[in-house]
Amino acid sequence: MQARIQRKVIAIAAPIGGGKSTVVTALASALNNAATLRFDDYETSTRQSVDELAKWLADGADFNQLQAPGLAEDIATLRNGEAITDRNGSAINAGMQELIFEMPLGRAWSATADNIDVLVWVDVPLDIALARRIREVSADMLRQDAASAKRGLGWLNDYLGHYIETIHKVLEAQRQVVRAQADLIVDGAAPVATIVQRVLDHLAQSPSSLVAR
């Protein structure tokens, strides 16, 4: 019996501030406006308190404990060439064109691991990633009125406190596990066009279509 041809899924992983979204958008454009799917649109872990994240770390940082309801089903449907409506209400059409999956957990989240054909890790030192995040937030505050900017500064102060206590450790765990499973590691300090070209070159060396595992 002949194996069924499936849509190729290319996952992009990086720490917070690592440029995942920018790379996903540019790569999708380079692949003739390929469809995209974002883990962040499904996950519920960011609703957890810092104390809950700290407990998760203390208990062994099992990424499979992080919840993203409906994601595994949607990516399996897409990989089979069928259409879905994502969590933002956007239709992702049926077809066999590549799917770009913005997935910070890479293959460490077993529910979607078998549906990832190529995993790209965008390698950015955590201090640079944090600086990018602060710059992004502060640029937004500069466009706000004084009262909104003050609230933004309060949020940023709280975030940096949580980063020192817990978030940094979460990102270290992510880097240790997800990076080790990547098929391709790219320099996140390189221009986006260079990163995209490296991914395209890597894809060109792999089969143009993949069969079910």
In this prediction, residue 2 carries a pLDDT of: 45
* Per-residue model confidence (pLDDT) at position 7: 86
The CA distance from 36 to 33, in Å, is 9
Indicate the pairing of strand 5-6 with strand 118-123.
Answer: unpaired
Cα–Cα distance, 20 to 105 (Å, whole number):
12
Q: Hey, what are 80's tokens?
A: 């089979």
Q: Is 122 helix (H, G, I), strand (E, B) or coil?
A: strand
Q: How many CB atoms lie within 10 A of CB 131?
A: 13
Contact 79, 191 (CB under 8 A): no
Strands, E assignment, 14-159:
35-38, 84-85, 91-92, 99-102, 118-123
Look-up: residue for tokens 């221009």?
A: 191
Six-digit token string for 208: 């143009």
Q: What digits encode the pLDDT tens for the residues 92-106?
A: 887 778 999 999 999
Whether the predicted pLDDT of 4 surpasses 60: no
Q: How confident is the model at residue 53 (pLDDT cuts 50, 70, 90)?
A: confident
CB contact set of 106 (below 8 Å; sequence gap of 6+):
11, 13, 116, 119, 121, 177, 178, 181, 182
What confidence tier does 87 reach under pLDDT thresholds 50, 70, 90? confident
The overall average pLDDT reported for the chain is 90
Residue 96 DSSP code: S
pLDDT at 211: 32
Handedness of CA 122, 97, 37, 6 (dihedral sign): negative
* Structure confidence at residue 5 as a pLDDT band (50, 70, 90): low
Residue bearing the bigger pLDDT, 147 or 91: 147
Contacts 24+ apart (CB under 8 A), 162-166: 162/50, 163/130, 165/50, 165/54, 166/50, 166/53, 166/54, 166/57
Name the pTM for this structure: 0.89
Residue 133: closest CA among 14, 15, 10, 17: 17
Phi and psi dihedrals of 86, rounded to 5? -80, 180
pLDDT of the residue at 88? 84
Amino acid at 84: I
pLDDT at 185 over 70: yes
**Gap between the terminal Cα atoms of the chain:** 14
